Amino acid sequence: MSAAPGQMTPKLVTALESIDRWRQESDTEADREHAEISEEQERLQREIEERQATLESLATRKTEVEANKASLPGEQLSRRREAALKNLAGDRGLVAARGSLFGDQVKARERRVQELIEKPEYNKLVKEYEEFQDVEMGLDSLPKTYKQAILAHHSNVKKELGPVFEAMAADIEPVDAQGIGVAVVGSIDAPASGSPEALAVIIPTPFETCSKWSERAEDLASLIAYRVISCVGKMLAEVGAADAPLQYAEYENALAIQVWLGDSEVKGNLQRVLDDLIDEANGKAAEFEAGRLRLEMVWVEPEVVAPDEDADGGEG
Amino acid sequence: MATLDLFEKIRVSQIASSLDLHPFEVARLMGQAGGLPFTLAFDQNDIDRVRELAGVETWWGGNAPTVEDDIPGRGLVRSAAQMLLDREVVGGNTTRADNLFRGLDPADQFVVRRAVNHLIREEVLKSIPTSQGLHLQVDADKVKVLQGIADGSKIPSSLEELWS
């Protein structure tokens, strides 16, 4: 009879070994979890640091955006001023170039008249007409009958020269170029809730149309200036400020009309009235039609056109 | 004058020259009186119209009554004062400031202009801005002062300095 295998290792040993394994396994598990938690903590810490850095960066950016936003009105004013000056110079160039083409058309009309007066049927009459200009002043010293005879003859000569007068008064032929629009810049200075105190109107024509008018030809630039001034005069009459004093000044090589309204009682909307009058002038001016040119009022804040503090301005 | 000019109608600048005005004054006045025509070409009637609109008068000329005085500058100023009185530029009546100089040669214009400026500063004359430009007016209570200048009986010493 064989003996059944017995329990050779004491149960305590087995139990202690089991406890050791448990301990070992538990240590391992605790170490693993500890490591995981540490890793997660570090990750979160890094994330917090990154978020913090992002927050700080956002705060900095927010301050920058706020500062930028605060500077926008100034920047807008600066850009509007730059645009106004740049386009004023551009429009002055356009007017000068268009004036040259218009001048060519005026000369073409003169050539047609010249050709006409060189024709034999007019040539002698023109000479007589010219000579009359010299003798006219002395007519009063002649006997009445002589004077009457000369005047009657002169009247006949003038009548026969009718086609020459008509040719000289003929419409200027339109320029061979595309239509252009140029801006007349207007600005009204008024207290927050009150009547306008001053008006500035800047025309893209040289100031010399004012300061040297007697030395220069009456060209397209001069005619544009007359039209705008006429509109300003009419507008002032319509808003009850007919006697408002006007001054003419040089502004960035252009012509500026300055109107003092502080002593007038302005009734109505002068901006709208001037807009309408300029618009109306576009369709009622022979030189605009021939020059294929239109004016348009563009209104800006006074600060946009305020002269630089160190700039000099002449007055007409 | 070129031959072609004989056949051309009158321009704005020519109206201005003939009336001793600036073309911009002509443009403003015509604008206020209805606007500029389609073609900026005019005739003698337009010059007369602008003369009236502008209140242009020539006070100094062949028949202008002048005050005799040993000192030419003082004579001019006394004459100008008398002209203001003769034309009754008093109270509500005004006249263009440059009517007082128009027709004088430049040197004499200078003398009268200085005197007028002085009298404005002294408040004997009042300057009034109008659509025709600067106007002058004499307040009723200053007529005696002007009369004293005109007849030479009481010329302010400050005015005498202008020609002494």
What pLDDT score does A127 carry?
A: 86
What pLDDT score does A313 carry?
A: 44
Q: Does A157 touch chain B (CB under 8 A)?
A: no
Tens-place pLDDT, residues A287-308:
999 999 999 999 999 999 987 6
Chain position carrying tokens 């030809």 = A217
Give the 3-state secondary structure of A206-251. CCHHHHCCCCCCCCHHHHHHHHHHHHHHHHHHHCCCCCCCEEEEEE
What pLDDT score does A3 carry?
A: 62
Q: Does B27 touch chain A (CB under 8 A)?
A: yes
Both tokens of A246, joined, read: 């006007």
What pLDDT score does A315 carry?
A: 38
Alpha carbon distances (Å) from B2 to A158, A162, A309? 17, 18, 47
With CA atoms as reference, the chain B residue closest to A290 would be B39
Do residue B12 and residue A114 have CB atoms under 8 angstroms apart? no
Residues of A in contact with B21 (CB under 8 A): none
With CA atoms as reference, the chain A residue closest to B20 would be A214
Task: Give me the residues of chain B with pLDDT under 70, please.
Answer: 1, 164
Do residue A133 and residue B23 have CB atoms under 8 angstroms apart? no
What pLDDT score does B70 carry?
A: 86
- Residue from A230, A235, A246, A248 to probe the interface with B (highest B Cβ count within 10 Å): A230
What pLDDT score does A310 carry?
A: 52
CA of A232 to nearest chain B CA: how many angstroms apart? 7
Length of chain B, in residues: 164
- Give SS3 for B68: coil
Q: Does A130 touch chain B (CB under 8 A)?
A: yes
With CA atoms as reference, the chain A residue closest to B25 would be A229
- Residue from A135, A226, A273, A295 to probe the interface with B (highest B Cβ count within 10 Å): A226
CA of A86 to nearest chain B CA: how many angstroms apart? 26
Distance between CA atoms of residues B126 and A281, nearest Å: 37
Write down the pTM of the prediction: 0.83
Residues of A in contact with B129 (CB under 8 A): 243-245, 260, 263
ipTM of the complex: 0.86
A48 φ, ψ (degrees, to nearest 5): -60, -45
- Give SS3 for B25: helix
What pLDDT score does B7 carry?
A: 86
Distance between CA atoms of residues B139 and B145, nearest Å: 10
CA of A288 to nearest chain B CA: how many angstroms apart? 10
Answer whether A182's CB lies under 8 Å from A204's CB: yes
Continuous H helices in chain A: 11-117, 120-135, 144-160, 162-169, 208-211, 220-238, 270-282, 286-291, 302-305
Task: Give me the residues of chain A with pLDDT under 50, please.
Answer: 311-316
